[in-house]
Amino acid sequence: MGKQFAIIGLGRFGSSIAKALYDLNYDVMAIDLDSERIQENINTVTHAVQADTTDEVALKSLGISNFNVVVVAIGQNIQASILTTLILKEMGIKTVVVKAQNKLHAKVLYKIGATKVIFPERDMGVRVAHNLVTPNILDFIELSDEYSIVEIISSEGMANKTLIELNVRARFGVNIMALKNKSYINVAPSANDIIRKGDIMVLIGHNKDLRKFEDFVMNGK
For residues 9 and 73, is the Cβ–Cβ distance under 8 A?
A: yes
95 vs 114: CA distance, rounded Å: 7
- List the Cα angle 96/98/101 in 5-degree steps: 165
CB of 108 to ligand ATP, least distance (A): 16
Q: Which is nearer to ligand ATP, 83 or 174 (CB)?
A: 83
CB of 32 to ligand ATP, least distance (A): 5
Burial of 106 (0-12, 13-18, 19+ CB in 10 A): middle
> Hey, how many other C-beta atoms are within 10 angstroms of the C-beta on 34?
12
Q: Which is nearer to ligand ATP, 33 or 201 (CB)?
A: 33
CB of 72 to ligand ATP, least distance (A): 9
Residues that bind ligand ATP (CB under 6 A): 8-14, 31-34, 37, 52-54, 73-77, 80
Q: Which is nearer to ligand ATP, 88 or 176 (CB)?
A: 88
100 vs 82: CA distance, rounded Å: 9
CB of 9 to ligand ATP, least distance (A): 3
Q: Which is nearer to ligand ATP, 11 or 173 (CB)?
A: 11
Q: Which is nearer to ligand ATP, 32 or 214 (CB)?
A: 32
Report strand pairing: 147-153 vs 161-162. Answer: unpaired
CB of 196 to ligand ATP, least distance (A): 40
112 vs 97: CA distance, rounded Å: 12
Hey, is 6 helix, strand or coil?
strand
Q: Which is nearer to ligand ATP, 6 or 217 (CB)?
A: 6
76 vs 23: CA distance, rounded Å: 27
CB of 74 to ligand ATP, least distance (A): 4
Residues paired with residue 139 on neighbouring β-strands, in sequence order:
151
**Closest CB to ligand ATP: residue number:** 75
